[in-house]
Amino acid sequence: MNLLKILFLLFLTLAIIIMVVERYGKPMSQSKQSKLSRVAIFLFLGLIIARIIQELI
Q: How far apart are CA 25 and CA 37, in angstroms?
A: 18
> pTM of the prediction?
0.53
Residue range 12-19: mean pLDDT, rounded: 96
Torsion, Cα 33 39 40 41, to 10 degrees, reads 110
Residue 28 pLDDT > 90: no
Number of structural domains found in the chain: 1
Taking alpha carbons only, the member of 33, 36, 48, 14 closest to residue 6 is 14
Residue 26 is predicted with a pLDDT of 86
Share of the chain above pLDDT 90, in %: 86
Residues in the chain: 57
The secondary structure of 1-20 as a DSSP string is -HHHHHHHHHHHHHHHHHHH
Owning domain of residue 35:
2-56
Residue range 49-55: mean pLDDT, rounded: 96
